[in-house]
Structure 1
Amino acid sequence: MKRNGVMAKINAENERIKHQYFEFLKQANGRSEATIGHIERAIRKFEEAMKYVSFKSFDQKQAIQFKDKMGETELALASILSILRYVQSFFKWLALQSGYKRKIRLTDVEYFNLSDRDVRAASTPAEKKFPTLKMIVKVVNNMPTSTGLELRNRALIAFTAITGIRDGATISLKLKHFDVSMRRVRQDPKEVATKNRKLITTFLFPLDDSLEQIVLDWVSYLREEVLFADHDPLFPSTIRTLDENDCFIAGGLSKEHWSNANSIRKIFKTAFLAVDLSPFTPHLFRNMIVSEAYLRGLSVAQFKAWSQNLGHEGAMTTLTSYGTLSLHDQAELVRKSGQGSKDRPKVLEEIMAILDANKE
């Protein structure tokens, strides 16, 4: 499609069928807006590579061409694999739609596949860097505490460290969701944006007493100093006011939730850079928690409890998604495992008990 002799960066027919696909993903497959956004960008990359021609012209040559173009980019192999799979799934769906059934052959769609070797390489987890508990304590201890905003920022990092709660859920928490006496956070999906909209009950992890006290002091400050009530945010957003030059500046704590987690991530980044440490996202604090579980030599039952505390239905999710050891920890545990353990029979009994319970 050309406009004034210039290739237009849109194909109306393509846009209409993409809209139908995204609606299918949302309503039939239950995909989140974030995931649909990733899929939309992947399909747009394909369109850009094919100069926005109609999807009805798709064939194996286009699949191979797109795969080759992705291979020429600086994207990680894992990212390329995800993009190709997103686009492949789209064309598999498209091949079943009216007006496209006779145009698209499913055998051509298979040409998006990478080689088995590339799939294995893309699926191999890289060593993930995440903050240590000592690093987080250092960051928190260095943070200023003169204003309500500064107290909030410090409590926010401390809270994330001892709960591992995702930032998307944190911004929607209310004071009533945190039971101080039980040290418990109830993530009610009716009000809290939990992953997959499930109820998650999280108790404060016993990682560091000072971090826990910071969180408790913050809740006390909200209730007693600024008179927040149950339905007010646990971590309120910032009031924006105008200075004498009509420029926006931070004016204090609001009684509104943040609309997204961008501000939280900026707070984390600023705090880490302030002590000359590489910044880490809130989500990587979950890896730190699992690392601490290893270091503390938890029993199988305790590890299961920690896993459940992170919102995982099974301990295998914790081990595979967050439990990859650093090379240093791997070496330490391998070398020490040869020393034997007096608790081994007890651990085996616990494993068998959990397996038996899962059968019921």
Structure 2
Amino acid sequence: MPGKHASNVRMKHKYLDWLKQADGKDEKTLDKVAAALTEFEKAVGGKDFKQFHRGWGERFKAHLAKSRNKRTKKPLSPSTVDTTLAYVKGFVKWLADQPGYKSRITYSDAAYFNNSRKGGRVAHARRPVPYPSMEQALQAFQAMPEGDKYQRRDKACLPSLC
């Protein structure tokens, strides 16, 4: 990535401070937002945010589609892509309200950072939670030890399946 623009660094710092102080975000969230903004800067070639163009949203989505998880080397999960886009979209909305950027960025420009509907559905899909069958639960309850009074108490507190 080419050299960092001082104005970009300042605006990212102001945004992170605003998230912490005004929006009450946690430190872990701030770290994730900062990482998303760094990826965004990398995707647009380190250009100054004052040169914003709505095509940057498409470029950023393409960048995320090509990106890989650093640990597993697999493509980014749909939920990671969705969250990263949401973080950058929030930043663009905030930036549109800042002096010096109002004439260059509009709130509607942030819509270019929306995930596709299909991508959003995949990212927020509920996975079935496996649970034991009644027979497996009964077997586990019957196998519980009854050696001392505490173990007998624990076994007695279970539903009357035995």
Question: What band does the TM-score fall into relative to the shorter chain?
Answer: 0.7 to 0.9
Cα distance in structure 1, aligned partners of 2:116 and 2:61: 11
Please point out which of 21, 24, 29 is paired with 1:30: 24
Which residue of 2 is the match for residue 116 of structure 1? Answer: 117
Is contact 1:59–1:105 with CA below 8 Å preserved after alignment?
no
Cα distance in structure 1, aligned partners of 2:79 and 2:107: 24
Give the TM-score taking structure 2 as reference length: 0.73
Which residue of 1 is the match for residue 65 of structure 2? Answer: 71
Q: CA deviation at 1:90?
A: 0.4
1:132-147 equivalent positions in 2, closer than 5 A: none
Cα distance in structure 2, aligned partners of 1:33 and 1:106: 26
Letter in 2 for 1:71: A
Q: CA deviation at 1:25?
A: 0.6
Cα distance in structure 1, aligned partners of 2:19 and 2:107: 20
1:64-103 equivalent positions in 2, closer than 5 A: 64-73=58-67, 74-103=75-104
SS at match of 2:99: coil
Is contact 1:59–1:109 with CA below 8 Å preserved after alignment?
no
1:309-328 equivalent positions in 2, closer than 5 A: 325-326=129-130
Q: Does 1:53 align with 2:50?
A: no
Gaps of 5+ in 2: 68-74, 135-162
Q: CA deviation at 1:41?
A: 0.3
1:161-176 equivalent positions in 2, closer than 5 A: none
Cα distance in structure 1, aligned partners of 2:37 and 2:5: 13
Cα distance in structure 2, aligned partners of 1:82 and 1:71: 13
Q: CA deviation at 1:14?
A: 0.3
Give the TM-score taking structure 1 as reference length: 0.34
SS at match of 1:99: coil
Please point out which of 9, 12, 19 is paired with 1:15: 9
Letter in 2 for 1:87: V
Q: CA deviation at 1:13?
A: 0.6
Q: CA deviation at 1:24?
A: 0.5
Q: CA deviation at 1:7?
A: 2.6
Letter in 1 for 2:107: L
Q: CA deviation at 1:125?
A: 3.6
1:289-300 equivalent positions in 2, closer than 5 A: none
**Which structure carries more strand by proportion?**
1
Is contact 1:67–1:112 with CA below 8 Å preserved after alignment?
yes
Letter in 2 for 1:325: V
Cα distance in structure 1, aligned partners of 2:46 and 2:2: 8
SS at match of 1:7: coil
Cα distance in structure 2, aligned partners of 1:125 and 1:40: 28
Deviations 1:19-78 (A, max 9, x none): 111110111011111110000000000001111101112222110111111112211011
Quote the sequence identity (%): 34
Cα distance in structure 1, aligned partners of 2:66 and 2:90: 22
Q: CA deviation at 1:116?
A: 1.2
| Count of matched residue pairs | 127
1:142-291 equivalent positions in 2, closer than 5 A: none
Letter in 2 for 1:65: R
Q: CA deviation at 1:99?
A: 0.6
Q: CA deviation at 1:124?
A: 1.3
Letter in 2 for 1:93: W
Letter in 1 for 2:90: S
